Structure 1
Amino acid sequence: MEITEKFTNNKQIIAFLTEQFPLCFTAGKDQAKPLKIGIFQELAVRLENEERVSKTQLRGALRQYTLSWRYLHCIKETIKRVDLDGIEGDEVSAEHAAHALKTLNESKEKAFANKKKIAPETAPKRTPKKVNVPTRAAKAIVEKVEILVTHKEAVHSELKLSQAVKVVLGKVPVSGVVVDIMKDDVQVQLDSGMTVKVKAKHLLIV
């Protein structure tokens, strides 16, 4: 009897996806492409009989892929998203492009901060440039209050798959779709293509 060796890490799964769907997933120096909203559901169907990877592993690898700097760099307004066969569909919205840029900048800041903490003595001393960044705190608070007033907080037992929701990640909730409902948590795929696992109390019903 033939024994199928299962994938053990995200790197192997991403390499597999790149090989199976080269018009959708890219690797190395090749420029990444924005993934179609709901790409996880398509992958789950196409790889239903693939014994080497589970849906949980697939979800984790997809999350790592969409949170990579290379992928976040490609999420720009008006760029068309692609499905597993490389067929172009909807364009990246301004909201999704802004969210991707915010995520990219936060990731880089965290990485640079960790690097500086590890080797403070070897890092070259540089005079920080003063940058005037206009604050949007007041506007964000108003928007959040408006959303909380017009949207109902989700109840875990009432949630359904493919249900449109708002995820309260920061100051302003982000749009997404429920892709998996677990015992205590809910898996939501954001409109940017990324997936997050949150409690129902962090979700708002659209």
Structure 2
Amino acid sequence: MENQPKLNSSKEVIAFLAERFPHCFSAEGEARPLKIGIFQDLVDRVQGEMSLSKTQLRSALRLYTSSWRYLYGIKAGATRVDLDGNACGELDEQHVEHARKQLEEAKARVQAQRQQQQAKKREAGEGDEKSAPRRPRKPTPRKPVAEGEAPRKVRPKASRPAQDGSASESRQPRAIPVTDTAALQVGQSIKVKAGKSAMDATILEISKDGVRVQLASGLAMIVRAEHLQF
């Protein structure tokens, strides 16, 4: 149909599939394992709807099955489902093990990226201190005591109470800016910088145009990597 709207991203295709096949696909939360060969079932059922092509379906399916929330659903005892939610057998042990390894590798990449960023910050901080050494403060000379006068007692300075929120803020870990989208994964929790604050969000899609995220309020947007923080 000429007036039929088009779906431009894999995220939009997944949202359409979740609405079209609610017992099989989900737009959020833990995903159910899919039937082996479900791609051909999708081609037979929805190709042409919303102007969808095989390439779009394949890309959306690859994004869906590589997300963290889908990999979390690949566990022992889970049952595969077809487009209508009918059971299609339990998962093989090798598939469960493969999903577990994929999750571990993805988490390891994110952790390595964080450690690398922290190391660079520490090196930058040490370099600044070495280039500009602090001058030692000269002790303040005490006023001499007159003959026959008792020396004055020095009162200890009372410590000032920290302002509300200052202590808790100093203990909070620093946000690490994202420098490489290769360290990001679909389904990963992230923070989006908005002025001086940062909003919690979840990564929906990673593309050359930017990173598509969904805020806690449900709003979805595309942002550049420099506006993201771990």
Give the alignment's TM-score, normalised by structure 2.
0.49
- In the alignment, which residue of structure 2 is the partner of 1:172? none
- In the alignment, which residue of structure 2 is the partner of 1:8? 8
Q: 1:51 to 1:28 in 2, by over 3 A?
A: closer
- In the alignment, which residue of structure 2 is the partner of 1:90? 89
User: Of the two structures, which has the highest relative contact order with CA contacts closer than 8 Å and spacing of 6 or more?
Assistant: 1
- Paired residues of 1:23 and 1:84 also in contact (CA < 8 A): yes
How far the C-alpha of 1:108 sits from its partner, in A, is 1.6
> What is the identity, as a one-letter code, of the residue corresponding to 2:111?
F
SS of aligned partner of 1:109? helix
- In the alignment, which residue of structure 1 is the partner of 2:66? 67
- Paired residues of 1:78 and 1:93 also in contact (CA < 8 A): no
Distance 2:98 2:9 in 1: 27
Q: 1:75 to 1:49 in 2, by over 3 A?
A: same
- In the alignment, which residue of structure 1 is the partner of 2:224? none
- In the alignment, which residue of structure 2 is the partner of 1:24? 24
Distance 2:108 2:75 in 1: 20
Q: 1:55 to 1:118 in 2, by over 3 A?
A: farther
Q: 1:21 to 1:114 in 2, by over 3 A?
A: same
Provide Cα deviations, 1:164-189, integer angstroms capped at 9, x if missing partner.
Answer: xxxxxxxxxxxxxxxxxxxxxxxxxx
How far the C-alpha of 1:78 sits from its partner, in A, is 2.5
Distance 2:44 2:70 in 1: 23
- Paired residues of 1:11 and 1:61 also in contact (CA < 8 A): yes
Provide Cα deviations, 1:18-73, integer angstroms capped at 9, x if missing partner.
Answer: 100000001223x2100000010100100123142211011011001000000000
- In the alignment, which residue of structure 1 is the partner of 2:98? 99
Distance 1:2 1:93 in 2: 44
- Paired residues of 2:79 and 2:89 also in contact (CA < 8 A): yes
Distance 1:53 1:108 in 2: 33
SS of aligned partner of 1:64? helix
Distance 1:27 1:51 in 2: 18
Distance 1:118 1:53 in 2: 41
Unmatched tracts of structure 2, length 5 or more: 123-171, 175-230
Does structure 1 residue 40 correspond to structure 2 residue 51?
no
Distance 1:104 1:24 in 2: 22
Larger deviation, residues 112-121 vs 100-109: 112-121
Distance 1:113 1:46 in 2: 42
> What is the identity, as a one-letter code, of the residue corresponding to 1:47?
V
Distance 1:56 1:39 in 2: 15
Provide Cα deviations, 1:145-168, integer angstroms capped at 9, x if missing partner.
Answer: xxxxxxxxxxxxxxxxxxxxxxxx
Q: 1:90 to 1:52 in 2, by over 3 A?
A: same
- Paired residues of 2:80 and 2:90 also in contact (CA < 8 A): yes
- Paired residues of 1:21 and 1:85 also in contact (CA < 8 A): yes
List 4+ stretches of structure 1 deviating above 4 A.
Answer: 122-125
- In the alignment, which residue of structure 1 is the partner of 2:181? none
Give the alignment's TM-score, normalised by structure 1.
0.55
